[in-house]
Chain A
Amino acid sequence: QAVVTQEPSLTVSPGGTVTLTCGFSTGAVTSGHSPYWFQQKPGQAPRTLIYETNNKYSRTPARFSGSLLGGKAALTLSGAQPEDEAEYYCLLSYDDARPWVFGGGTKLTVL
Chain B
Amino acid sequence: QVQLVESGGGVVQPGRSLRLSCAASGFTFSNYVMHWVRQAPGKGLEWVAVISDDGSNKYYADSVKGRLTISRDNFKNTLYLQMNRLRPDDTAVYYCVWGLGHWGQGTLVIVSS
Contact = CB atoms under 8 A, between A and B. Distances in A.
Contacts of B46: 102
Q: Which among B95, B101, B105 has the highest number of chain A CB atoms within 10 Å?
A: B101
In this complex, the interface size class of chain B, counting residues with CB under 8 Å from chain A, is 10 to 19
Contacts of B59: 96-99
B104 A36 contact: no
B50 interface: yes
Contacts of A105: 44-45
Given A51-B100, A102-B44, A102-B47, A45 B95 contact: yes
B62 A38 contact: no
Interface of A: 1, 36, 38, 40, 45-48, 51, 57, 87, 89, 91, 96-105
B61 interface: yes
Interface string B88-110: 00000001000011111110000
B100 A45 contact: no
Contacts of A47: 103
A65 B90 CA distance: 34
27 contacts: A1-B62, A36-B100, A38-B45, A47-B103, A48-B100, A48-B101, A48-B102, A51-B100, A51-B101, A87-B44, A89-B44, A91-B45, A91-B100, A96-B59, A97-B59, A98-B62, A99-B50, A100-B35, A100-B50, A101-B47, A102-B44, A102-B45, A102-B46, A102-B47, A104-B44, A105-B44, A105-B45
Nearest to A40: B45
Interface in B54-113: 59, 61-62, 95, 100-106
Contacts of B50: 99-100
A29 B100 CA distance: 19
A46 B103 contact: yes
